[in-house]
Amino acid sequence: MIDLDGILPVLKPAGWTSHDVVAKVRGLIRMKRIGHTGTLDPAVTGVLPLCLGRATRLVEYLQELPKEYEAVLRLGIATDTEDLTGEVIERLDPVEVTEEQVQEVIQSFVGTIEQVPPMYSAVKVDGKRLYELAREGKVVERKSREVTIYKIEVLQIQLQGPEPEVHLRVLCSKGTYIRTLCVDIGKALGVPATMASLVRTMSANMTREHGLTLEQIAEYKQQGSLHEHLIPMDVSVSHLPAHTIAADKAYQAVQGQKISGIAVSPVVDVPGCIRLYSPEGQFYGIFERKPDETFIRPVKVFLP
């Protein structure tokens, strides 16, 4: 039986929670050890990478990578959930903004910004999820937090009609709420706003082109070819530099021992995590050089 150790990029359908998707895939491939790399709201579709088997040990590294979304920002309407699943709390008609104003305001959000998590979110306050408090009709004070918007591309602007829309592509850091970004853009324009739709187009460096539907996963599993569609563990962390261990130190690496930074090629001369390979190209795992140290230490070792 072929081991399913790797990353399975699922295309999450609308109406499913991330937990629903994990449970469904567990049933399809008969595997318990599955973890995801960041939740998506039920109404949101798109890329949801699942880590299978030993690859669950890489979740923390994949979660930290930038994510890309395509969103529709609707002006002239605000809801209590910051998207169209909620109750309308404000309307404005007509909305009087220009294309130039929209472009200028949107680009002002690029960089490190402060966001206040929405009440309908999974953030915990005093041990309770915000969405649980929101469903009880409560609004509590939330601390703002820093997130990074690396890039916003305006794909389309449609300003005619009572509820103008702007289509955006956003590249952002972990923890960014696109709903809140839409609302904050509206505030900066001086009009109510909400997020009309959202698709995650990239997560953990995996795009929609890599993604599989639940139907495809079931089909490939039945055919015995699902392993051919997994992203290999080392490829999933390709943002970490690759180094090769010297042949006479390979045994130490497999045993998870500390290794001199000069025993690998290229030499590890700066702090940080690396991918370590055998002389034959086998992935040994993630090692790290800490500041003020000359050796690399094991962080995640994947035995042959």
How far is 171 from 139, CA to CA, in rounded Å? Answer: 29
DSSP tag of 230 = S
Cβ neighbors of 156 (< 8 A, separation 6 or more) are 165, 166, 167
Answer yes or no: 41 catalytic: yes
3-state secondary structure of 233: helix
Query: Do 78 and 192 touch, CB atoms closer than 8 A?
Result: yes
How far is 297 from 286, CA to CA, in rounded Å? Answer: 9
The token pair at 201 is: 């187009």
Q: Which of 5, 41, 184, 234 is catalytic?
A: 41
Between strands 124-125 and 128-129, the pairing is antiparallel
Closest CA to 31 of 5, 58, 70, 67: 5
Residues belonging to the active site: 41
